[in-house]
A and B are shown apart, each in its own frame.
Chain A
Amino acid sequence: MKLRVDWRASVSLVGTVLKYLAVTMVVPIATGLVYGDAFVPYILPFFVTAGLAVGLGTVMEHLDPDPDIGAREGLLMVSLTWMAVSIVGVVPYVLEGLTYQNGQLVYLIDSTLHHPDNALFESMSGFTTTGATVMGTIDPTYHSRGLMLWRQMTQWLGGMGIVVLAVAILPELSVGGAQLMDAEAPGPGIEKLTPRIAETARALWVIYAGITLVEMLLLYGLYEAGMAPNMTPYNAISHGFTTMSTGGFSPEARSIEAFSAAVQWLIVPFMVAAGASFPLFWHGSNGEFEKFREDSEFKTYVGIMGVLSAIVAGFLFVDVGLADATTEATQAAYQSVDTNLLPHTFPIAGDVESSLRHATFQVVSITTTTGYATMDFTTWKGPAKFVLVFAMFVGGSAGSTGGGIKIVRWLVILKSLRRELFSTVHPKAVQPVRLGGRVLDERAIRGIYAFTLLYIVIFFVATVVLVADAAFSGPTSLTVIEAMTAVAATLGNIGPGLGDVGPMGSYIDFTAQAKLFMVVLMWVGRLEIFPVLVLLTRGYWQS
């Protein structure tokens, strides 16, 4: 059998990316030093990870010192990069708190992430900006500050894309760069903003980093202004990292519920920005603001979130969506919470601002696939909860950091369905599908149908797998709805689902094999299925 793929070149480039990944360890190391974490059990793991990344990277680079990649090698390289980076990302979680005492290695703290399968889940969930967690105790004072920030930063690195970053800084990727970015970037196709792909990649990262910085500063500003007592500089940086990447990790166990209403309102527009197409911001930075108004995907994106928010807000306001919010049990539960500290969590029904805020936040968070929550929406009643399940399948915009099926695909599907209806009346009519005045290629439409269908097939098959796994060995409490939302949340890189896997919950109860299965779902979901799936075909390797 003769291989038609120069896998050595792909692996070599993955090695280069890994070497550069070591540089990012500077951030958690510096954080550890600033907060005075003990060196051996908390800071050393990052040096080990960096050393490992450089060592592994160098070995891989030796496979092909002068890699030359074509389309096939590009697909392999992108898929492998995400897996390799996630595997290296396991190391800090596993080694955290590990020290040498009395002649043996012992863990100073108790972390669920010491198990490699959990660590891989957390690492993949981080890089793919999913935000599903298996961390037992989410608390930066329990875990080290450095590790918690590393967890946030994996999402930021994965948000705009590791390969896009690599294309931006590695000159050897300039030739195949467009294909690499196409394989990684969310949405069908990429928009080249400049003649050189490396400049496009750089522009995207600069915009991404710029908006992130603005958010961090504004969050910190609220803290300084006394409007957000919990939004310390550490939290401001942490949430900046995971908002713009549509990640959803938070160092706070109660996610954004831990912060004041002002913070919650401030995060909403940044989530909206993160789920919007980044090329639009590039045009905006060139003064072409009319592009936002002209872009049909952006209009639909904002429109869908507006409508869904209004529906949920209505439910919450009239107390249809809130489960038992007015029952004695919930009231008792809320009385145990210091309502002076968290005045924004209660009451919601009958309060315009509260119901609007919680509805908008949750809808935007799920639609953009961020995964933050200002309250545990699993406690909501059916109607409001199901609007969120619907939002899980909408997804962000193409060219954003969001996951899911993407608005543009739904737009194209709806438009071509309308054409089908027209064709039944006028069988001889020739009607191209237009998007924002531009005619879409029929092949592109077919690709969009194929992707969406495949996405839904994978969703159902994966649900069956999880339900079957749970029936044999897993948490017996896993309902089908929970399994469905778990799959939707991992495949769509959203994070929280319903029930046990809700925004305040955890994926910890799944069996090891189910977690590894979901690692694959996140991986496949982030790369939008085809780059990974094509590796499984015989034709890819041989003919």
Chain B
Amino acid sequence: MYVIVIGAGEVGSNIAASLADSHEVVLVDRDGDVVDSLTYELDVLPLEGDGTSLDTLEEAGIAQADMVIACTDGDETNIVACATARTVSDAFTIARVKRTEFLDTWSGVEGAFGVDFMVCTDLLTAQSIVRIAGLPGARDVDSFANGCVRMAEFEVTESSPIANETVADADRFESLTFAAILRDGDVTIPRGETVIEVGDQVIVIGSPESVRQFARSLTPSPDLDEIDDVYIIGGSEIGFQTAWLFEQRDIKPHIVEADPERARDLAEQLPGSIVFENDATDVEFLYQEHVDEADLVVTTLESDEKNLLVSLLAKRIGAARTVTVVENGRYVDLFETVGVDVAVNPREVTAEEITRFTREEHTENIAIIESDRAEVLEIEIDAESILANRTIADAAGDLPEGVVIGAVTRDEQFITPRGNTVVEVGDHAVVFVDTKVLDDVVSRL
């Protein structure tokens, strides 16, 4: 595929880097210095110019482009770039935006702005945070098949009842599949006799209810419905979106923001939240506002280091659970090691969303596990699929090691996949795939 990426900021260069392996990528940016340095860093064609100008786009080869991804920092710039591309080409256009207003307009009118797909990074991150908040103990949560299927990643601690049990014993849950176990950075496909050890991360796929039951059995802490005291530290756009999503769920979040103007702004836009104007590292303030009794503390400050600091502080004074936003993908594991319960990387979330469109057409949804060690895909089964009209046990024999059929939905109904389940054309399958065999498997499914 020939892809033009406009904007070589953090998101742009990240997307370019992940696409560079298998696609031809042209990376356009207005900053000559950035373009120069990218020449050596990435295996892409860097181009200096304004992505909203037709001349630049033509120079980038818009005529032969299959996809245009506009991901500069300016929402308007991205939209105009897509609209401009649309005037001369049929390439699939993806725009990254921050403001949800644009997303609302876009989802309301088909093909608005000449944008085929719009990614709202901050909203995606916020959604991810709220999803994780809903499942105590979960490190990553994703929904598939219009919410019929849920995938979640949990860490097994000493107190977990499934610790040191075999998968066969642990599988006490209706419509839940143990898709994988991550141990010491390796992906293991569990067999019935595999023993779940303390420190493992288990990936389960199942109906939302079964995943919630599983989560509850792992950690007896309250469900999202019972979470009252949510504190969002840092009024960044992600913080704002997170607060807004909590408000939609009738939870009244507390937001802490140090900048007076931004605090006022947030307070005006979030009638269902309580906004405090204070420095979040002020321990006295944290006690005064009962952060020590918080059910959940989300840190969305502007720097990763501050987020870590505040998360650890909140944890130390007694907050039940901390979720922190980490801009730098390399910190994710580190943060979770030193005590942050869940680290969410906006770029990973955005990448998941954008990568969806670089896959085959029938891939409906995707989740990336642990820095691209594996993926969970949702696939609509067509007649050529290896699964079509066969039992799962039958088809599994033809698939390589590292693939698990996690769930099947038929007409939006959840079907627990067992060995004798026959998959029909038109079903949606949610499949766990090890990255090593990804390309092979995707083409055959």
Residues of A within 8 A of B (CB): 426, 428-432, 434, 437, 439
**5 contacts across the A-B interface (CB closer than 8 A):** A430-B264, A430-B275, A431-B275, A432-B264, A437-B271
Shortest beta-carbon distance, B301 to chain A, in Å? 17
Asked if residues B268 and A439 are in contact (CB atoms below 8 Å), the reply is: yes
Asked if residues A431 and B285 are in contact (CB atoms below 8 Å), the reply is: no
Which 4 A-B residue pairs are closest in the complex by CB-CB distance? A439-B268, A430-B267, A428-B276, A428-B278
Asked if residues B271 and A428 are in contact (CB atoms below 8 Å), the reply is: no
Instruction: Give the contacts of B261-277 with A (CB-CB under 8 A).
Output: 263-264, 266-268, 271, 274-277
Asked if B165 is an interface residue, CB under 8 A from chain A, the answer is no
Residues of A within 8 A of B285 (CB): 428
CB-nearest residue of chain A to B282: A428
Residues of B within 8 A of A432 (CB): 264, 267-268
Among A426, A430, A437, A439, the residue within 8 A (CB) of B263 is A430
Asked if residues A429 and B271 are in contact (CB atoms below 8 Å), the reply is: no
Q: A537 CA to B57 CA in the complex, in Å? A: 63
Shortest beta-carbon distance, B268 to chain A, in Å? 4
Shortest beta-carbon distance, A541 to chain B, in Å? 36
Interface centre among A430, A434, A437 (most CB of B within 10 A): A430
Residues of B within 8 A of A437 (CB): 271
Shortest beta-carbon distance, B219 to chain A, in Å? 31
Asked if residues B277 and A431 are in contact (CB atoms below 8 Å), the reply is: no
Q: A430 CA to B276 CA in the complex, in Å? A: 5
CB-nearest residue of chain A to B266: A430
Asked if B439 is an interface residue, CB under 8 A from chain A, the answer is no
Among B264, B268, B289, the residue within 8 A (CB) of A428 is B289
Shortest beta-carbon distance, A437 to chain B, in Å? 7
Interface centre among B257, B260, B277 (most CB of A within 10 A): B277
Asked if residues A434 and B263 are in contact (CB atoms below 8 Å), the reply is: no
Q: A432 CA to B261 CA in the complex, in Å? A: 12
Shortest beta-carbon distance, A416 to chain B, in Å? 14
Q: A437 CA to B274 CA in the complex, in Å? A: 16
Given contacts A428-B288, A429-B276, A430-B257, list 5 more A-B pairs with CB under 8 A: A429-B277, A430-B266, A431-B267, A437-B271, A439-B268
CB-nearest residue of chain B to A431: B267
CB-nearest residue of chain B to A437: B271
CB-nearest residue of chain A to B274: A429
Residues of A within 8 A of B257 (CB): 430
CB-nearest residue of chain A to B285: A428
The verdict on A434 contacting B276 (CB below 8 Å), with A426-B289, A428-B289 known, is: no
Q: A426 CA to B275 CA in the complex, in Å? A: 10
Residues of B within 8 A of A428 (CB): 276-278, 285, 288-289
Q: A428 CA to B271 CA in the complex, in Å? A: 17
CB-nearest residue of chain A to B278: A428
Q: A431 CA to B275 CA in the complex, in Å? A: 7
Shortest beta-carbon distance, B280 to chain A, in Å? 11
Q: A428 CA to B285 CA in the complex, in Å? A: 9
CB-nearest residue of chain A to B256: A428
Asked if residues B289 and A430 are in contact (CB atoms below 8 Å), the reply is: no
CB-nearest residue of chain A to B267: A430
Q: A80 CA to B289 CA in the complex, in Å? A: 55
Shortest beta-carbon distance, B397 to chain A, in Å? 61
Residues of A within 8 A of B271 (CB): 434, 437
Residues of A within 8 A of B277 (CB): 428-430
Q: A429 CA to B289 CA in the complex, in Å? A: 10
CB-nearest residue of chain B to A427: B288
Residues of A within 8 A of B274 (CB): 426, 429, 431
Residues of B within 8 A of A429 (CB): 274-277
Q: A432 CA to B257 CA in the complex, in Å? A: 15
Q: A430 CA to B288 CA in the complex, in Å? A: 15
Shortest beta-carbon distance, A442 to chain B, in Å? 9
Q: A429 CA to B276 CA in the complex, in Å? A: 4
Shortest beta-carbon distance, B117 to chain A, in Å? 32
Residues of A within 8 A of B268 (CB): 432, 439
Q: A429 CA to B270 CA in the complex, in Å? A: 13
Cβ proximity bits B281-317 to A, threshold 8 Å, 1 near / 0 not = 0000100110000000000000000000000000000
Asked if residues A426 and B267 are in contact (CB atoms below 8 Å), the reply is: no
Residues of B within 8 A of A426 (CB): 274, 276, 289
Q: A430 CA to B289 CA in the complex, in Å? A: 13
Q: A538 CA to B257 CA in the complex, in Å? A: 43
Residues of B within 8 A of A431 (CB): 267, 274-275
Shortest beta-carbon distance, A258 to chain B, in Å? 51
Shortest beta-carbon distance, A259 to chain B, in Å? 48
Q: A434 CA to B275 CA in the complex, in Å? A: 14
Residues of A within 8 A of B289 (CB): 426, 428
Residues of A within 8 A of B266 (CB): 430
Interface centre among A426, A432, A439 (most CB of B within 10 A): A432
Instruction: Give the contacts of B231-285 with A (CB-CB under 8 A).
Output: 257, 260, 263-264, 266-268, 271, 274-278, 285
Residues of B within 8 A of A430 (CB): 257, 260, 263-264, 266-267, 275-277
Q: A540 CA to B275 CA in the complex, in Å? A: 40
Shortest beta-carbon distance, A423 to chain B, in Å? 11
Shortest beta-carbon distance, A294 to chain B, in Å? 15
Shortest beta-carbon distance, A179 to chain B, in Å? 27
Q: A173 CA to B193 CA in the complex, in Å? A: 89
Residues of A within 8 A of B267 (CB): 430-432
Q: A432 CA to B275 CA in the complex, in Å? A: 10
Residues of A within 8 A of B264 (CB): 430, 432
Q: A77 CA to B396 CA in the complex, in Å? A: 89
Q: A21 CA to B96 CA in the complex, in Å? A: 62
Q: A432 CA to B264 CA in the complex, in Å? A: 7
Shortest beta-carbon distance, A418 to chain B, in Å? 14
Q: A105 CA to B260 CA in the complex, in Å? A: 74
Q: A46 CA to B280 CA in the complex, in Å? A: 74
Instruction: Give the contacts of B346-388 with A (CB-CB under 8 A).
Output: none
Residues of B within 8 A of A434 (CB): 271
CB-nearest residue of chain B to A439: B268
Q: A428 CA to B260 CA in the complex, in Å? A: 10
Residues of A within 8 A of B276 (CB): 426, 428-430
Residues of A within 8 A of B288 (CB): 428
Q: A432 CA to B266 CA in the complex, in Å? A: 10
Interface centre among A426, A429, A434 (most CB of B within 10 A): A429
Q: A437 CA to B278 CA in the complex, in Å? A: 25
Q: A199 CA to B215 CA in the complex, in Å? A: 63
CB-nearest residue of chain A to B260: A430
Q: A370 CA to B275 CA in the complex, in Å? A: 43
Q: A79 CA to B79 CA in the complex, in Å? A: 52
Instruction: Give the contacts of B90-104 with A (CB-CB under 8 A).
Output: none
Shortest beta-carbon distance, A292 to chain B, in Å? 22
Q: A462 CA to B237 CA in the complex, in Å? A: 54
Q: A432 CA to B270 CA in the complex, in Å? A: 10
Residues of A within 8 A of B260 (CB): 430
Q: A430 CA to B260 CA in the complex, in Å? A: 9
Shortest beta-carbon distance, A70 to chain B, in Å? 31
Shortest beta-carbon distance, A296 to chain B, in Å? 13
Cβ proximity bits B196-226 to A, threshold 8 Å, 1 near / 0 not = 0000000000000000000000000000000
Shortest beta-carbon distance, A422 to chain B, in Å? 9
Shortest beta-carbon distance, A298 to chain B, in Å? 20
Shortest beta-carbon distance, B445 to chain A, in Å? 49
Residues of A within 8 A of B263 (CB): 430
CB-nearest residue of chain A to B262: A430
Q: A482 CA to B260 CA in the complex, in Å? A: 50
Cβ proximity bits B76-98 to A, threshold 8 Å, 1 near / 0 not = 00000000000000000000000
Q: A429 CA to B266 CA in the complex, in Å? A: 12
Q: A429 CA to B256 CA in the complex, in Å? A: 9
CB-nearest residue of chain A to B264: A430
Shortest beta-carbon distance, A67 to chain B, in Å? 40
Shortest beta-carbon distance, A237 to chain B, in Å? 48
